Amino acid sequence: MDIEISHLTRFDYDREVQLQLHLLYLRPRENALLEVLRLDFAVTPDARVHWMRDDLDNLPATLQFSGNSSHIEIRSECAVRTSDLGPFDFLLRDYARTFPFAYEPLHRFNLGPYLAPGDVAAQPQLKGWLAERMAEPQSDTVAWLLALNRTIWQHLVYRRRLEPGIQKPLTTLQLGSGSCRDYAVFLVECARAFGLAARFVSGYLLDPANDGTTSGDMHAWVEVFLPGAGWRGMDPTHGIFCDNAYVPVAHAAVAESVNPVQGSFVSTIPATARMTTDVRVRRSS
């Protein structure tokens, strides 16, 4: 499937400020199931753009500005092609078909950052919350993951949050609501509480009900590592496994490390900033 993505981010300051380095996670991650066909990238004011592979093999860009400005405008236009493989088109290793299972020693070593809980003290409460809401425990690994994903989708209330930052899992549990990024972090912590390696993913989602006609936001979901299948995407905001409508940009063990736009400014006089975004994702005709 061919997908076109338009992403505009703009910062307006109430006076000219000195712009520091900015780090952008906006370029889709190419892999065997996703090909970037075209990428057009523009920044105002002018900046030197340095592309790199980070320590997690993501592809961020660093912006180096040379002067002061009262605004920044970042525009990314890209076209990608995703595979048509179904979300359950994978094979598990025999020992991983039944849940719970233990990773092989080499996997456990490599997956260390994705197994470590963000908040050890929160694990008993997360397990208790799930035990009260999940149906009878499933012995089949995929069925268990489906139940986990759908339980979060069914028992939390989606709430679009404009304020920055990500809620702690216990905050999401107490409020009973959150944004897609809050849902994703919640699922990551739940998976790790049961010994599964999980990571946060930021990217774009093609919504057939929207298809780029209205402005949206970037999306967030989770990937869980399954022996024999590798990293498999799960979207707790919608209660489904990810398919070819999902376009990953960056993944990380810690969600805050792959915020789409990161940067700062310096001003001798206190300055305020206002951010506006416009994200449109549509299927190519």
- One domain for residues 101 and 62: no
- For residue 14, give the CATH number of its domain: 2.60.40.2250
Alpha helix ranges (H) inside the chain: 105-110, 112-115, 123-133, 141-155, 169-175, 180-193
- One domain for residues 33 and 153: no
- One domain for residues 243 and 112: yes
Supply the pLDDT for residue 136.
73
Supply the pLDDT for residue 84.
73
- One domain for residues 118 and 38: no
Question: Across the strands, what pairs with 49?
Answer: 63
- One domain for residues 69 and 103: no
Q: Which domain holds residue 16?
A: 2-83+260-283
Structure tokens belonging to residue 223: 């990937």
pLDDT confidence bin for 102, thresholds 50/70/90: very high
The average pLDDT across 137-166 equals 89
187 belongs to a structural domain: yes
Supply the pLDDT for residue 47.
94
Does pLDDT of 169 surpass 90? yes
Among 116-125, 157-166, 202-211, the range scoring the smallest mean pLDDT is: 157-166
159 belongs to a structural domain: yes
Most confident of 133-137, 187-191, 274-278: 187-191
- One domain for residues 103 and 167: yes
Q: Residue 249 contacts by C-beta under 8 Å, 6 or more apart in sequence?
A: 25, 26, 27, 28, 29, 58, 202, 203, 204, 218, 258, 260
- For residue 206, give the CATH number of its domain: 3.10.620.30
Among 8-22, 151-165, 184-198, the range scoring the smallest mean pLDDT is: 151-165
Q: What is the pLDDT of residues 216-236, one digit of tens each?
A: 789 999 999 999 999 999 999
Question: Across the strands, what pairs with 68?
Answer: 18
- One domain for residues 102 and 60: no
The average pLDDT across 189-200 equals 97
Does pLDDT of 212 surpass 70? no
Q: What is the pLDDT of residues 177-186, one digit of tens each?
A: 999 999 999 9
- One domain for residues 203 and 72: no
Does pLDDT of 213 surpass 90? no
165 belongs to a structural domain: yes
Does pLDDT of 211 surpass 90? no
Q: What is the pLDDT of residues 35-81, one digit of tens each?
A: 999 999 999 999 999 999 999 999 999 999 998 999 999 999 999 99
Instruction: Pick 86 or 108 by higher pLDDT.
Output: 108
88 belongs to a structural domain: no
- One domain for residues 137 and 78: no
- One domain for residues 134 and 158: yes
Supply the pLDDT for residue 165.
80
Instruction: Pick 137 or 188 by higher pLDDT.
Output: 188
Give percent of the chain above pLDDT 90.
80
Could you identify the residue written with the tokens 């900033």? 273
pLDDT confidence bin for 128, thresholds 50/70/90: very high
Supply the pLDDT for residue 120.
87
Q: What is the pLDDT of residues 13-29, one digit of tens each?
A: 999 999 999 999 999 99
244 belongs to a structural domain: yes
89 belongs to a structural domain: no
> Into how many domains does the chain fold?
2
Give percent of the chain above pLDDT 70.
97
274 belongs to a structural domain: yes
- One domain for residues 48 and 164: no
Exposed/middle/buried for 109, CB within 10 Å: 0-12, 13-18, 19+?
Answer: exposed
Supply the pLDDT for residue 215.
66
Dihedral (CA of 27, 30, 34, 39) sign: positive
212 belongs to a structural domain: yes
- One domain for residues 146 and 227: yes
